Amino acid sequence: MNSNVIVRAPLHVQVAERLRLLIDSGGLAPGTRLNENELCQNMGVSRTPLREAIRSLATEGLVELQPNRGAIVSVVSQEDVTEILPIMASLEGLGGRLAAVHMRTDQIKQIRQIHNQMVTHYQNNEVTEYFETNRLIHDLITEGSGNQTLVDTINSLSAKVRRARFSAQMTRESWAKVVSEHEEMVTALEARDPDRLEAILIQHVETKRTTILGSLQRSE
Amino acid sequence: MNSNVIVRAPLHVQVAERLRLLIDSGGLAPGTRLNENELCQNMGVSRTPLREAIRSLATEGLVELQPNRGAIVSVVSQEDVTEILPIMASLEGLGGRLAAVHMRTDQIKQIRQIHNQMVTHYQNNEVTEYFETNRLIHDLITEGSGNQTLVDTINSLSAKVRRARFSAQMTRESWAKVVSEHEEMVTALEARDPDRLEAILIQHVETKRTTILGSLQRSE
DNA sequence: AGAACGTATTTTGTATGCAATATAAACCCG
DNA sequence: CGGGTTTATATTGCATACAAAATACGTTCT
């Protein structure tokens, strides 16, 4: 029996992944109509798997289905962000609470290392790298909860907000605040203090909320 | 301009709904393979919309895709329930917290009425009606949060657990506990006490957890 | 010139057909 | 008889073809 079977992912899954990336990167802006023929030619697949992929993205909320008029990349309104962030706060809080108990010490040490890197990026004003490490820390903590469903749920919500957050330009002071909150986070994690970590994470998302909404407001 | 346009839902949406109902009601038991031809004949549609519907259910987590082997109704394991319930606790807690602030007084009064009905059903040992009113109360509180994304997220998670909970036979004493918790819930809501309502809801889900897991364990 | 109608074209929705893979059955050989 | 291989069948995956709806366009009429 060969257990090293190579299972090529079904086309519609690959297509969905590709589309997700396109939407996430901004290659497909919110509101854009997804023209099936066009996309088919671009990706070199037929309409069937493409349509199946679109249906998946629709249930994920990344695109919106308009009967007999196809799908558009869903637009993330200020209301959406206002709805999603409190949910993420709760869930990230829960994740932290669980992580504080479940994570192994070496995993926590790793987070401290990445956190230090992040601080360096902050000091050097390296925005991209900063965001990357920032997100990695959050992901690691969430994953540290050991609750895969929680990870999935957070990711699903996060994906929607990310595009909005993308446009969110941080002011220097809000950036400083976020970094100091991160410092507290890691400290609470090292102390394995569920309540404190949860509280900080909730506060952290609240900070993010005001940052994003402030930015959205300025840009209107 | 006519705003009362009749938009017939696309076939794949109707099919998805139908399948959801089938799975939810137990007409399609967990682990059952979805035979495309068979289902097509049953529903009188072709494979294309059926397959699109199946893809949607897959991203919802109700069915599991097995490459080149079709889809099976996903089985809800004890681990799944263990993962999902803490998440629902957080989210229902958040919902209650928001509801305590946002709900109108007449809506709260309505909940009190339904709660009283539920208690009557409890006393008369009318299980089905009890579950119905019970669920209605939870739904109304969640919806009272005014956060549609939260409602959707909870429903999505709830759908997965429901099938497991279905088999959960309550003992008389756990039932009594649940009812008394509900009493506290409504009282906290009437007092518009977010913290207390949140705490009770979280505790309430915890009670549910032990009930379900206890039942799952007994049935193995 | 502009609005309204009707036609043409594009685009989506659904059904069907063919290829590839998995499952079941028959068969052969030890 | 039983294990393993080959062949047949069924089922899924993908592509194409047709039908229905929506959009775009041109024409007509006021």
pLDDT tens-digit series, residues B80-89: 989 999 999 9
| Cβ-based contacts of B148 with chain A (< 8 Å) | 83
For chain D, which bases have at least one atom within 7 A of a protein Cβ? Answer: 11-17, 21-23
Q: Which of A74, A77, A144, A139 is nearest to A107 (CA)?
A: A144
Q: Which of B95, B79, B9, B70 is nearest to B45 (CA)?
A: B9
pLDDT value, residue B110 = 96
Long-range contacts of B147-152 (CB under 8 A, 24+ apart): B147/A83, B147/A86, B147/A87, B147/B95, B147/B98, B148/A83, B149/A80, B149/A83, B149/A84, B149/A87, B149/A157, B150/A83, B150/A86, B150/A87, B150/B91, B150/B94, B150/B95, B150/B98, B151/B95
Q: Which of A51, A68, A71, A35 is nearest to B47 (CA)?
A: A51
The dihedral formed by the CA atoms of A8, A13, A16 and A22, expressed in degrees to the nearest 10: -20
- Of A50, A69, A74, A83, which to mutate for an interface test with B (greatest number of B Cβ within 10 Å)? A83
pLDDT in tens, A153-212: 999 999 888 887 655 677 888 889 999 999 999 999 999 999 999 999 999 988 888 887
pLDDT in tens, B6-55: 446 889 999 999 999 999 888 999 999 999 999 999 999 999 999 999 99
In chain A, residues 118-157 whose CB comes closer than 8 Å to chain B: 147-150, 153, 157
Place of tokens 């913290």: B195
| Cβ-based contacts of B52 with chain A (< 8 Å) | 51-52, 55
Long-range contacts of A64-68 (CB under 8 A, 24+ apart): A65/B10, A65/B13, A67/B7, A67/B8, A67/B9, A67/B10, A68/B10
User: How far, in whole angstroms, is CA A22 from its chain's centroid?
Assistant: 15
Distance (Å) from the C-alpha of residue B116 to the closest C-alpha of chain A?
30
Q: How far apart are CA B37 and CA B6, in angstroms?
A: 31
Per-residue pLDDT for A60 more than 60? yes
Residue pair B73/B31 in contact (Cβ under 8 Å)? The answer is yes
pLDDT in tens, A29-58: 999 999 999 999 999 999 999 999 999 999
- Identify any residues that bridge with A154 across adjacent strands, giving them in sequence order: none
Percent pLDDT > 70 in chain B is 92
| Cβ-based contacts of B65 with chain A (< 8 Å) | 10
Q: How far apart are CA A179 and CA A181, in angstroms?
A: 5
pLDDT value, residue B145 = 97
- Asked if strand D contacts A49 at the CB level, meaning under 7 A, the answer is yes
pLDDT value, residue B220 = 56
pLDDT value, residue A33 = 95
Q: How far apart are CA A32 and CA A102, in angstroms?
A: 43
- Cα atoms in the 13 Å half-sphere on the side-chain side of A65: 21
Residue pair A189/A111 in contact (Cβ under 8 Å)? The answer is yes
Q: How far apart are CA B129 and CA B120, in angstroms?
A: 10
- Mean pLDDT over B179-200 rounds to 95
B59 touches A at CB < 8 Å: yes
Tokens of B46: 């072709």
Q: Determine phi and psi for B66, rounding to 5 degrees.
A: -115, 110
Per-residue pLDDT for B168 more than 70? no
Residue pair A161/A88 in contact (Cβ under 8 Å)? The answer is yes
Q: What is the DSSP letter of A6?
A: -
DSSP assignments along chain B, one per residue: --S----PPPHHHHHHHHHHHHHHHTSS-TT-EE-HHHHHHHHT--HHHHHHHHHHHHHHTSEEEETTTEEEEPP--HHHHHHHHHHHHHHHHHHHHHHHHH--HHHHHHHHHHHHHHHHHHHTT-HHHHHHHHHHHHHHHHHHTT-HHHHHHHHHHHHHHHHHHHT-PPPHHHHHHHHHHHHHHHHHHHTT-HHHHHHHHHHHHHHHHHHHHHHHHHT-
DSSP assignments along B109-171, one per residue: HHHHHHHHHHHHHHHTT-HHHHHHHHHHHHHHHHHHTT-HHHHHHHHHHHHHHHHHHHT-PPP
pLDDT value, residue A165 = 61
pLDDT value, residue A207 = 87
Calculate the average pLDDT of chain A: 90
- Mean pLDDT over B175-183 rounds to 93
Q: How far apart are CA A52 and CA A113, in angstroms?
A: 42
pLDDT value, residue A209 = 84
pLDDT bin (cut points 50, 70, 90) of residue B2 is very low
> Angle, nearest 10°, between helix axes B148-166 and A78-102?
50
pLDDT value, residue B4 = 37
pLDDT value, residue A67 = 93
